[in-house]
């Protein structure tokens, strides 16, 4: 362990240039825009806390980014100096920062004075009007990673009039000296809030907290005949008919994927843009044209090599976005590029060593390696889709979200054989496979991990390189809104670990972690509203509702809900929440969440059956899709009927009126089939089509009737005037052709006056009003 900082050592401060990142190249004076985080909200705190290696700052128990512009910036130690971005302090103490590139001066404006720090000189200049005063320093202002370093002690005490205290990796800045050494409760709270996850500083540091006890599960999933695809640009082949396709009809009225958050798109196996239907699966995307009469034509496809499995797609104007997993054969040692840092650190556990380099080759004892991928195609000419770019990250494809032009790819990856840096490839930067940069990795020093949770931001409209952020944890349930991405993972102790990222276009930054008791069922069990995160959990036959503030502190909760039952569905709608639990009956709980610190149960409804999915279908109306249940009776010794159990019945749709939060009602219901009936709608909300204009709901279903006769098809319902009515069932057709280039999956969508049923490689069109079949296309 290198010697720690002693009293009197000069601390120094990173001034962030040009929004906290780049020093201007031309001779001009440039002001740094000081951006306030939502946590600050123009309030000035007398004390702020930073933690070495953390990109977060703590003030008034609120967590916000250390630098709102560059979310990767973290407090660190290098060359006997503590380095932090001035943007953080200017935000809290109202100092303005700029850089004069002509004079090579870093400039601080504060309370009518200018403080100039010439780069490379051991002095700073105080300018008040026409008067100047030169003050010597015992260390020079330097530039590191295009950032200017100035002494923290000078800035805090001589300029801002604050006191800076350092102890056990914590930096405290306040009006007076803060006794961190004696206040163990304070230091423990700071570490918990902003010190549990830190920016990685060295390969050795990463290795020390990565567990080697896990076998690469992604290799086990690889098929034995997987081939090395090489360059994705040449491997993904776009095929099309040689004849000119007919121009499809344009309609402003067409299906969109059923998503959780308005404005945040979710990938699916079927998409439409109102002109074409895009069907994804196996090793291909098939593009089917439609016209105003409902005629169908298979016009082109994007075919992939056998070692690329397509999971989901997005459509956005002239962009087709493909996501899934790729497997490659490990036939030789894998080259891994060198990783170096510009700044040696003081403490051993924060070392970034200039002479540290990963071995040029590392042994790969496994036969297969897996990558999640995102491939972008230009479909301006639908007959000839053109490859644009690709981003790959070693590991397993977990999920994704899309906001505007940016797709956020989520990958889970595992360490193996001493190799702790996952590989990545981005065609925007070249075809070379490189290791994930250490600067993009967050580690949790107190928790050993078997791998990483990685978020990649990909702009699908230009050739910009993807931005990545990794943390040494795992998460398999995703919730995202316009500014935050939450990933939840259930651990073996009965707790859910929540990891939060701030997102702003291509900018991704770790924003904190939290834990709550119990397991989260799915993405609808999570939600953020007015800066508060809500989550419902089940553990040991007991259910809970937690509300966390912006810093992931639990500020309100309800526990002990519906004991001996478990959560089957959740829906948060503004300041209301709805939870369905089940064991023998279906209690629908209604919650008032208007006071985050004091959530309340306002109503409860018990009916037979349970809802696996809840969806708002009108003002104060919620549709539940799940199963019916009924009681099983037998006669006792006196001949009286007694209940001896329950049996699950058919697919049940329930319409709940929640206008009276104290007395929710089931005002209509419909049961389709009997025991043994099933639908993907139970567990996949994307399988449900909603048309609010026509008040229609549709989903594919396997229907088993009371006489055990079964059938399959798309059930189309109308929900209007408080009633659920079955309009009809579109017959399922058994495919006659199978193969890797034929996608399998079932969805229902509409375009204008036509309804389309996609069913395992077969597409059928119907008149939306009469449900009469128009055309059927079998993909080959």
- Is pLDDT larger for residue 200 or for residue 139? 200
Percent of the chain with pLDDT over 70: 81
Instruction: Assess whether pLDDT exceeds 90 at residue 68.
Output: no
DSSP 439: G
Enumerate residues 6+ apart whose C-beta is below 8 A from 333.
Answer: 361, 362, 363, 364
- Cα(288)–Cα(297) distance, integer angstroms: 5
Q: How confident is the model at residue 79 (pLDDT cuts 50, 70, 90)?
A: low
Distances (CA, A) of 60 to 41, 45, 551: 12, 7, 11
Terminal Cα distance for the chain, rounded: 66
What does the pLDDT read at residue 252?
55
Instruction: Please give the angle made by the CA atoms of 625, 630 and 632, to the nearest 5 degrees.
Output: 155
Parallel, antiparallel, or unpaired for β 600-607 and 542-548?
unpaired
The answer to whether the CB of 171 falls within 8 A of the CB of 165 is: yes
Query: What is the torsion angle, in degrees rounded to the nearest 10, for the CA atoms of residue 343, residue 344, residue 346 and residue 351?
Result: 110
> Which residues sit opposite 513 in a β-bridge?
499
Look at residue 640 and tell me if it is in a domain: no
Closest listed residue to residue 319, CA positions, set 371, 374, 281: 374
CATH code for the domain of 31: 3.30.457.10
* Residue 235 φ/ψ, nearest 5 degrees: -80, -35
Listed ranges 78-92, 246-260, 370-384; the one with the highest mean pLDDT:
370-384
Instruction: Please give the angle made by the CA atoms of 265, 235 and 392, to the nearest 5 degrees.
Output: 45
Alpha helices in 216-299 (DSSP H): 217-220, 232-235
State both tokens at 56. Answer: 């977060």
On average, the pLDDT of the chain sits at: 83
Instruction: Assess whether pLDDT exceeds 80 at residue 426.
Output: yes
- Is pLDDT larger for residue 730 or for residue 88? 730
Instruction: Assess whether pLDDT exceeds 60 at residue 635.
Output: yes
* Residue 186 φ/ψ, nearest 5 degrees: -65, -50
DSSP 247: P
pLDDT in tens, 18-36: 333 334 433 333 333 333 3
Distances (CA, A) of 663 to 588, 599, 720: 10, 17, 21
Q: How many domains does the chain have?
A: 1
Q: How confident is the model at residue 348 (pLDDT cuts 50, 70, 90)?
A: very low
State both tokens at 365. Answer: 């004892």
Closest listed residue to residue 413, CA positions, set 395, 440, 386: 395
Range of weakest confidence among 373-377, 703-707, 718-722:
703-707
Q: How confident is the model at residue 144 (pLDDT cuts 50, 70, 90)?
A: low
Instruction: Assess whether pLDDT exceeds 60 at residue 248.
Output: no
Query: What is the torsion angle, in degrees rounded to the nearest 10, for the CA atoms of residue 418, residue 390, residue 303 and residue 759?
Result: 90
pLDDT in tens, 439-462: 899 998 888 788 899 999 999 999
Look at residue 146 and tell me if it is in a domain: yes
* Residue 217 φ/ψ, nearest 5 degrees: -70, -25
| Other CB atoms within 10 Å distance of the CB of residue 541 | 11
Parallel, antiparallel, or unpaired for β 467-471 and 441-443?
parallel
- Cα(300)–Cα(385) distance, integer angstroms: 8
Look at residue 171 and tell me if it is in a domain: yes
Q: How confident is the model at residue 418 (pLDDT cuts 50, 70, 90)?
A: low
The answer to whether the CB of 568 falls within 8 A of the CB of 580 is: yes
Look at residue 48 and tell me if it is in a domain: yes
- Cα(453)–Cα(411) distance, integer angstroms: 6
Secondary structure of residue 645 in the 3-state scheme: strand
Instruction: Please give the angle made by the CA atoms of 458, 461 and 466, to the nearest 5 degrees.
Output: 20
DSSP conformation letters of 513-530: EEEEESB--SGGGEEEET
Look at residue 189 and tell me if it is in a domain: yes
What does the pLDDT read at residue 87?
58
- Cα(533)–Cα(545) distance, integer angstroms: 11
- Cα(769)–Cα(780) distance, integer angstroms: 30
State both tokens at 410. Answer: 């989520």
pLDDT in tens, 466-523: 999 999 988 899 999 999 999 999 888 899 999 999 999 999 999 999 999 999 999 9
Look at residue 566 and tell me if it is in a domain: no
Q: Which domain holds residue 77?
A: 12-195
What does the pLDDT read at residue 98?
84
DSSP 350: G
Look at residue 64 and tell me if it is in a domain: yes
Instruction: Please give the angle made by the CA atoms of 500, 504 and 508, to the nearest 5 degrees.
Output: 50
The answer to whether the CB of 451 falls within 8 A of the CB of 238 is: no
Look at residue 636 and tell me if it is in a domain: no
**Rg, C-alpha atoms of the chain:** 29
Q: Three-state SS across 377-420?
A: EECCCCCCCEEEEEEEEECEEEEEEEECCEEEEEEEEECECCEC
Q: How confident is the model at residue 330 (pLDDT cuts 50, 70, 90)?
A: low
DSSP 268: B
Q: With b meaning 16 or more CB within 10 Å and e meaning fewer, what string describes 597-615?
A: eebebbbbbebbbbbbbbb
- Is pLDDT larger for residue 347 or for residue 293? 293
- Mean pLDDT computed over 137-162: 76
pLDDT in tens, 597-609: 999 999 999 988 8
Instruction: Assess whether pLDDT exceeds 50 at residue 2.
Output: no
What does the pLDDT read at residue 20?
39
Instruction: Assess whether pLDDT exceeds 70 at residue 364.
Output: no
DSSP conformation letters of 565-593: -EEEEEEEETTEEEEEEESSSEEEEEEE-
The secondary element (H helix, E strand) that includes residue 191 is: helix 184-194
Q: With b meaning 16 or more CB within 10 Å and e meaning fewer, what string describes 94-118?
A: ebebbbbbeebbbbbbbeeebbbbb
């Amino acid at each position: 362990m290198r010697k720690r900082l002693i009293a009197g050592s000069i601390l120094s401060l990173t001034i962030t240039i040009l929004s906290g990142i780049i020093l201007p190249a031309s001779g001009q004076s440039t002001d740094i825009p000081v951006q306030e985080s939502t946590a600050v909200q123009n309030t000035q705190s007398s004390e702020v806390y930073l933690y070495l290696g953390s990109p977060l700052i703590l003030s008034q128990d609120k967590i916000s980014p250390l630098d709102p512009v560059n979310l990767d910036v973290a407090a660190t130690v290098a060359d006997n100096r503590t380095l932090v971005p001035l943007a953080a302090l200017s935000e809290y103490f109202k100092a303005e920062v700029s850089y004069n590139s002509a004079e090579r001066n870093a400039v601080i404006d504060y309370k009518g004075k200018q403080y100039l720090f010439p780069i490379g000189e051991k002095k700073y200049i105080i300018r008040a009007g026409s008067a100047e005063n030169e003050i010597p320093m015992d260390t020079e202002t330097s530039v590191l990673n295009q950032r200017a370093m100035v002494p923290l002690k000078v800035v805090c005490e001589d300029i801002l009039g604050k006191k800076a205290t350092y102890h056990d990796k914590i930096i405290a800045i306040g009006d007076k000296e803060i006794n961190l050494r004696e206040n163990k409760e304070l230091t423990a709270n700071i570490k918990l809030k902003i010190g549990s996850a830190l920016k990685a500083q060295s390969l050795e540091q990463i290795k020390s907290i990565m567990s080697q006890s896990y076998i690469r599960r992604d290799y086990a999933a690889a098929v034995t005949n997987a081939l090395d695809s090489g360059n994705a640009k040449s491997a993904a082949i776009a095929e099309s008919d040689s004849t000119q396709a007919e121009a499809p009809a344009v309609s402003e009225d067409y299906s969109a994927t059923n998503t959780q958050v308005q404005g945040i798109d979710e990938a699916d196996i079927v998409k439409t843009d109102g002109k074409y239907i895009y069907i994804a699966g196996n090793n291909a995307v098939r593009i089917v044209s439609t016209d105003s009469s409902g005629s169908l034509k298979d016009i082109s496809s994007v075919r992939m090599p056998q070692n690329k499995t397509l999971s989901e797609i997005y459509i956005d104007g002239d962009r087709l976005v493909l996501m899934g997993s790729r497997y490659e054969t490990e036939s030789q040692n894998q080259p891994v590029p060198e990783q170096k840092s510009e700044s040696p650190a003081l403490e051993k556990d924060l070392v970034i060593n200039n002479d540290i380099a990963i071995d040029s080759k590392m042994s790969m004892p496994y036969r297969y390696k897996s990558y999640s991928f995102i491939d972008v195609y230009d479909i301006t000419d639908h007959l000839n889709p053109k490859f644009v770019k690709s981003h790959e990250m070693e590991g397993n494809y977990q999920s994704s979200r899309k906001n505007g032009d940016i797709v956020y790819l989520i990958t889970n990856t595992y360490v193996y054989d001493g190799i702790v840096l996952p590989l990545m490839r981005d065609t925007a930067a070249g075809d070379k496979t490189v290791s994930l940069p250490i600067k993009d990795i967050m580690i949790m020093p107190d928790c050993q991990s078997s791998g990483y949770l990685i978020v990649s931001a990909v702009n699908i409209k230009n050739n910009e390189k993807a931005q990545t952020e990794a943390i040494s944890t795992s998460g398999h349930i995703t919730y995202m809104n316009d500014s935050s991405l939450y990933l939840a993972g259930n651990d073996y102790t009965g707790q859910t670990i929540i990891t939060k990222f701030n997102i702003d276009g291509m900018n991704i930054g770790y924003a904190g972690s939290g834990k709550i008791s119990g397991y989260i069922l799915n993405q609808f069990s999570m939600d953020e509203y007015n800066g508060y995160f809500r989550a419902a959990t089940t553990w040991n036959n007991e259910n809970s509702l937690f509300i966390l503030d912006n810093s992931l502190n639990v500020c309100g909760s309800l526990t002990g809900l519906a004991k001996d039952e478990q959560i089957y569905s959740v829906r948060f709608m503004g300041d209301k929440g709805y939870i369905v639990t089940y064991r023998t009956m279906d209690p629908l709980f209604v919650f008032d969440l208007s006071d985050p610190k004091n959530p309340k149960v306002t109503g409860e409804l018990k009916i037979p059956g349970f809802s696996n999915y809840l969806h708002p279908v009108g003002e104060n109306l919620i549709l539940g899709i799940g199963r019916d249940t009924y009681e099983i009776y037998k006669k006792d010794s006196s001949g009286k009927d007694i209940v001896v159990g329950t049996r699950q019945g058919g697919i049940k749709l329930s319409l709940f009126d929640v206008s009276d939060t104290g007395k929710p009602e089931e005002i209509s219901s419909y049961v389709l089939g009997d025991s043994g009936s099933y639908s993907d709608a139970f567990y996949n909300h994307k399988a449900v089509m909603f048309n609010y204009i026509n008040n229609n709901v549709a989903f594919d279903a396997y229907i088993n009737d009371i006489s055990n006769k079964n059938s399959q098809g798309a059930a189309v319902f109308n929900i209007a005037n408080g009633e659920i009515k079955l309009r009809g069932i579109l017959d399922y057709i058994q495919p006659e052709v199978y193969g890797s280039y034929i996608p399998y999956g079932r969805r229902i969508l509409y375009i204008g006056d036509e309804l389309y049923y996609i069913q395992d490689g077969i597409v059928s069109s119907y008149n939306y009003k009469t449900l009469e079949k128009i055309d059927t296309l079998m993909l080959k």
